[in-house]
Structures are given as structure tokens and as C-alpha cells.
Amino acid sequence: SFTSLNRDMTLPEFKFIWYMEYSHRMWGRAVGLAYILPAAFFWRRGWLSPPLKRRVLALCGLVCFQGLLGWYMVKSGLEEKPDSHDIPRVSQYRLAAHLGSALVLYSASLWTGLSLLLPQHKLPETKQLLRLRQYAHGTTALIFLTTLSGAFVAGLDAGLVYNSFPKMGERWIPDDLLAFSPILRNIFENPTTVQFDHRILGIASVTAVTALYLFSRKIPLPRRTRMAVTSLLAVACIQ
């Protein structure tokens, strides 16, 4: 990379990049210790119930897997590509896997913590409540998919292809949307298609969150749940 693209890079510029990567690694290791050391202490003291032990083991395993996946991702950016002299990039597939794994780890950790700190509400299982819960799960899946599509945008630098909104350039649907063959390859490797998909998924996510909020207003819910739905809408709009 230095010999082919960055001959003019100064030592302070290199140090800035190096310390960013080093800090990220050290922070990841600190997170791992913050999981594993207290877990081992609580386990030894007998403070964990059998179901919680299984969950703690799963979370600690996921922390280790996340670190391994991060190394595997970075490795793809350091491999020589003799047929390409483009800017070195990590694999967008591995980047999406690393980000997705982090989201699962964070969500599972937050869910576990809130389950221990806050008592579960006992609500009557009405048809409206069941529908709201199903819709909330669907919205969660859509947001997760949207976030993963963002990793493909980052991995391919697809955000640089078009910088106008809501149109992409002068068109609603760009000409090179399906330029790659086979067609399925466009979804993961064509920067235009990746950015287009991310836009559509982002709009769909905000729409779904808004609909979830409006639907929740028609159902009698505890204050805590109502605050969560309102916060979700606020964060979606900010995002």
C-alpha cells in the first residue's frame, strides 16, 4: 500500500492511522476482559443461576468470536491483490459479518442486563398486543438488515458513487443498477446497487418505526414500554 499508493505519507500521518487501529484493538480486548473476568468471579461465587450460566457462556463465546472475526476481516485488507492496484479495502462480506456479530453481542448484552434489572411486565395477551410484538420483531429484523447493508456501503465506498437525494444523480433508478452478471452479484458487489438498497432499506426502516409508534398509541401500554417506543422513533428520525 505504501509503495504503490502512499509514498508521500509522513510519519505523523502513519501514526494517526496506526493508533486508531491499535486503540480499537485495545478497546476490544478491554471489552473482552470486562465480560470474562466478572463472569468468572460471579460463577465462582455461585451467584449465577443455571439459565444465566448458559447465557453468560454464550455471551463470552460471542466476545471471543467477535475478536476472531475482527482479525479475519482486517486480514482481508492486507492480502496482496496482484490483479488490482485499487485502494486496499477489507472484504465487505467480512465487514458486514463483524458488524452484525457486534450488533448481536450488544443487543444480547443489553437484553440480559435489562432482564436482570427490570421486572417483566405481566400484560394480558390480547390480540393487539401479540400483533404489536410481532410487528416489533419484524421492525427489529428490518433495522438489522439495514445496518448490515450499511457495512456493504462502507466496504465498497459506495457512498461516494452518488451524493444526491432522493434521486441518484438525475434519475430515480440509476442505469448501472444491474451492471454486474449474474444479477445477484449486484446486491453485494455493485456500489450503485449497494447504495440504492441501503437507501430503500433506510426509508423502509423509518417508515416501519413510525408505523410501530402509531400502532402502539392505540394500545394501553406501561410507561416504560411507551418511552421505549417513543425513543425508538426519535433515534430513527435523528439517524
CA angle, 225 as apex, 223 and 227 as ends, to 5°? 70
Note the pLDDT of residue 213: 97
Other residues' Cβ atoms within 10 Å of the Cβ of residue 101? 18
Given a contact cutoff of 8 angstroms between Cβ atoms, the answer to whether 198 and 158 are in contact is yes
> Which residue intervals of the chain are DSSP H helices?
11-45, 50-78, 92-117, 127-156, 184-189, 191-216, 223-238
pLDDT at position 76: 82
- Contact present, 135 and 83 (Cβ < 8 Å): no
Report d(CA 194, CA 161) in Å as an integer. 10
Q: What is the pLDDT of residues 182-196, one digit of tens each?
A: 999 999 999 999 999
Sign of the CA dihedral running 22, 27, 28, 32: positive
Q: How far apart are CA 205 and CA 121, in angstroms?
A: 27
221 grid coordinates: 401500554
Q: For the chain, which residues score pLDDT lower than 50?
A: none
pLDDT value at position 87? Answer: 67
Query: Residue 215's pLDDT is what?
Result: 95
Q: Taking each helix axis from N to C terminus, what angle separates 191-216 and 127-156, rounded to the nearest 10 degrees?
A: 160
pLDDT at 200: 96
The predicted structure's pLDDT at residue 9:
85
How does pLDDT run across 51-80, given as a tens digit for each residue?
999 999 999 999 999 999 999 998 887 776
Q: Which three cell numbers stand for residue 170?
A: 438525475
What is the pLDDT at residue 95? 94
Residue where the block lists cell 453468560: 56
Distance CA(37)–CA(54), nearest Å, equals 16
Record the pTM: 0.86
